């Protein structure tokens, strides 16, 4: 089996790996413990992602609420906390890019306790986080479970929002 970067991996990949030091100003990771740092910027105007397609600067609030950002799912693609990513489609007319946001950037959106243990790849793991298309909820006390619930909630909410008109639909309307 081959893992990220072409490295050989075992059937138990990814193994639980302790966090390694300070990751950013809003989150500290130490021995798999996640603590919200005091004074962190939750959802104000701070950009957490620049769209690689159109260059739009996106805040957490925009990623959560904007009609032209559609969550796709979540996947663990590497070991430790930095390995969890959420996938989004930017459906803004003229863009259409899929981008990822490390799940640790979504912490201000989490409203429940975040467990310390990373169970991905262990016997307790339900394996939802290993497949992007799997939108099943995890019932394990894993660090990634609250992020899965958030992404599932965002997918459900975005399904009820209006879909942006695509360029192909606009061209079809113009020619009619």
Which pLDDT belongs to residue 41? Answer: 43
pLDDT tens digits, residue range 27-82?
Answer: 444 434 454 433 344 555 788 899 999 999 999 999 998 889 999 999 998 877 78
Which pLDDT belongs to residue 171? Answer: 53
Q: What percent of the chain has pLDDT over 70?
A: 66
Mean pLDDT, the chain, integer: 75
Written as one string, the DSSP assignment of the chain is -B-GGG-B--TTPSPP----SB-SSSEEEETTEEEEPTT---SSS-EEEE-TTT--EEEHHHHHH-TTEEEEEEEE-SSSGGGEEEEEEE--TT--EEEEEEGGGGGGG--S---S---TTSTT---GGG-TT--PPP-S--TTHHHHHHHHHHHHHHHTSPPPPPHHHHHHHHH-
Structure tokens at 141: 């006390």
Which pLDDT belongs to residue 110? Answer: 92
Q: Kindly tell me if the per-residue pLDDT of 6 is higher than 60.
A: no
What Å distances lie between residue 29 and 9, 33, 97, 147, CA to CA? 25, 6, 31, 16
User: Higher-confidence residue: 22 or 174?
Assistant: 174
Q: Kindly tell me if the per-residue pLDDT of 136 is higher than 70.
A: yes
Q: What percent of the chain has pLDDT over 90?
A: 45
Backbone angles phi, psi at 156, to 5 degrees: -65, -40
Average pLDDT on 109-131 reads 90
- Domain boundaries, given as residue ranges, for the chain: 4-34+70-163
Whole-structure pTM value: 0.69
9 contacts 1 by C-beta, under 8 angstroms:
yes
Which pLDDT belongs to residue 175? Answer: 54
Which pLDDT belongs to residue 26? Answer: 38
**How far apart, in Å, do the first and last CA atoms of the chain sit?**
52
């Amino acid at each position: 089996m081959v893992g990220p970067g072409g490295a050989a991996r075992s059937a138990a990949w990814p193994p639980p790996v302790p966090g390694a030091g300070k990751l950013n100003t809003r989150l500290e990771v130490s021995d798999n413990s996640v603590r919200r740092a005091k004074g962190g910027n939750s959802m104000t105007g701070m950009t957490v992602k620049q769209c690689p397609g159109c260059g739009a600067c996106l805040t957490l609030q925009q990623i959560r609420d904007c009609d032209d950002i559609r969550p796709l799912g979540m996947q663990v693609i590497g070991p430790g906390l930095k390995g969890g990513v959420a996938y989004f489609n930017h459906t803004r007319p003229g863009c259409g890019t899929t981008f990822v946001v490390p799940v640790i950037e979504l912490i201000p959106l989490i409203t429940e306790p975040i467990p310390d243990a990373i169970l991905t790849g262990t016997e307790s793991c339900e394996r939802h986080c290993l497949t992007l298309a799997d939108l099943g909820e995890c019932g394990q006390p894993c660090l990634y479970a609250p992020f899965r619930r958030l992404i599932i909630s965002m997918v459900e909410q975005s399904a009820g929002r209006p879909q942006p008109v695509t360029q192909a639909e606009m061209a079809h309307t113009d020619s009619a």
